[in-house]
């Protein structure tokens, strides 16, 4: 074995050991000894082969592991492969989670359509085989991408997975929560729709990643606001929980609901975007509350008097609260409180008289 060959093997395996090569001996010294003895004849040196065999076994095992990994990967990809579906064969989830299916209310929908038209669909949607229609599918998430593909007139890329109703709801809720593209009112009505369909509140809380207190607020707001008003307003992505809670309080009176339903039919309301629609309704209901709750202020407004009231009377479900405005003189509230007994006596005398 020449030196170059030994160096190559050593560099390749790092475990090949070689014995030092003896110097050539004179010719006469190669003759066998004259006397027979116990000295064995010299054998030619050999490289240790155990390490090479071990390396061969290791490479063989590694090849088998790679083959197993390849088969597992192919099996996984086979069960979760992305397919192209005709958008007309894919229906929305049986639980509505968006209020912007009317594209004018979805301010970024046009951008999504253009992005898919130019760059293709980057993220597949998740669907399941339709439980009632053979050859059709039902969306768990990806409703906007589905609408965009349908508008462009191209197949939608989707992952098809067998899902129960509960699994579909969990996937739908968690996707919307992680992507953070549902507004407060959309999440509130999504939660309400799930409860109305018979899903347990604990499951809904898990799907939306919310606690019990937030779940209660969602259901209270959804119950207080008529569905036609919510659909007319749309998602209102810039409007958070406090203003929606206050809006629900303003709608407790029948007069407020009637006024709001009249407002959503006006051309000005329809021409506004979703956030502006909410603000128009909110401000109109605030003004109505002040007029209804303060008869004296309403009377002054009709007779052309000043609109800056010293105090306002708020009536809410039989509960009356007198609030003194910033125009009231210092100490006036205390003066009125001290005179309440006298005022009550005068009031009773007038009733008896």
The Cα–Cα gap between 260 and 281 comes to 6
Percent of the chain with pLDDT over 70: 63
pTM exceeds 0.95: no
- pLDDT tens figures, 66-76: 555 555 444 44
Q: Is the residue at 205 inside a domain?
A: yes
The Cα–Cα gap between 96 and 173 comes to 11
CATH number at residue 127: 3.90.1530.10
Secondary element (H or E) of residue 137: strand 137-141
Q: Are residues 143 and 192 in the same domain?
A: no
Instruction: Pick the range with the lowest mean pLDDT from 21-25, 92-96, 125-129, 313-317.
Output: 21-25
Predicted confidence at residue 24, as pLDDT, reads 52
- Domains identified in the chain, total number: 3
Q: Are residues 289 and 312 in the same domain?
A: no
Per-residue DSSP letters for 162-198? Answer: ---HHHHHHHHHHHHHHHT-S-HHHHHHHHHHHHHTT
Predicted confidence at residue 23, as pLDDT, reads 52
| Domain range enclosing 134 | 80-164
Pick from 146, 92, 91, 140: which is nearest to 116 by CA? 146
- pLDDT tens figures, 160-175: 999 999 899 888 887 7
Q: CB under 8 Å to 175, separation ≥6 — which residues?
A: 126, 140, 141, 142
Question: In the chain, what are the helix, strand and coil shares in percent, each to the nearest 5?
Answer: 55, 10, 35
- pLDDT tens figures, 106-118: 667 888 888 899 8
Predicted confidence at residue 353, as pLDDT, reads 58
CATH number at residue 189: 1.10.10
């Amino acid at each position: 074995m020449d030196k170059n060959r030994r160096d190559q093997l050593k560099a390749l395996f790092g475990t090949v050991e070689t014995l030092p090569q003896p110097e050539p001996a004179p010719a006469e010294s190669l003759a066998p000894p004259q006397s027979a003895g116990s000295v064995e004849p010299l054998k030619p040196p050999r490289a240790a082969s155990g390490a090479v065999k071990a390396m061969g076994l290791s490479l063989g095992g590694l090849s088998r592991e790679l083959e197993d990994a390849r088969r597992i990967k192919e099996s996984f990809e086979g069960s979760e492969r992305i397919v192209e579906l005709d958008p007309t064969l894919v229906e929305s989830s049986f639980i509505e989670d968006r209020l912007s299916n009317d594209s004018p209310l979805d301010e970024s929908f046009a951008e999504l359509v253009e992005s898919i038209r130019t760059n293709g669909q980057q993220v597949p949607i998740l669907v399941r085989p339709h439980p009632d229609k053979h050859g059709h599918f039902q969306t768990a998430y990806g409703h906007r991408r589905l609408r965009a593909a349908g508008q462009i007139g191209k197949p939608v890329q989707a992952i098809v997975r067998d899902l129960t109703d509960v699994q579909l709801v969990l996937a739908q809720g968690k996707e919307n929560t992680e992507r953070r593209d549902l507004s407060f009112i959309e999440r509130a009505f999504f939660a309400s729709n799930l409860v109305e369909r018979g899903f347990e509140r604990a499951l809904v809380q898990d799907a939306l990643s919310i606690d019990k207190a937030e779940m209660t607020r969602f259901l209270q707001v959804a119950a207080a606001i008529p569905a036609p008003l919510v659909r007319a307003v749309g998602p209102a992505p810039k409007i958070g929980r406090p203003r929606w809670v206050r809006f629900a309080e303003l709608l407790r009176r029948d007069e407020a609901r009637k006024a709001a339903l009249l407002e959503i039919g006006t051309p000005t309301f329809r021409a506004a975007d979703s956030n502006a629609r909410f603000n128009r309704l909110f401000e109109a209901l605030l003004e109505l509350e002040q007029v209804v709750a303060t008869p004296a202020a309403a009377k002054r407004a009709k007779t052309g008097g000043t609109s800056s009231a010293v105090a306002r009377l708020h009536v809410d479900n039989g509960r009356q609260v007198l609030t003194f405005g910033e125009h009231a003189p210092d100490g006036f509230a205390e003066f009125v409180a001290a005179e309440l007994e006298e005022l009550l006596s005068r009031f009773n005398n007038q009733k008896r008289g």
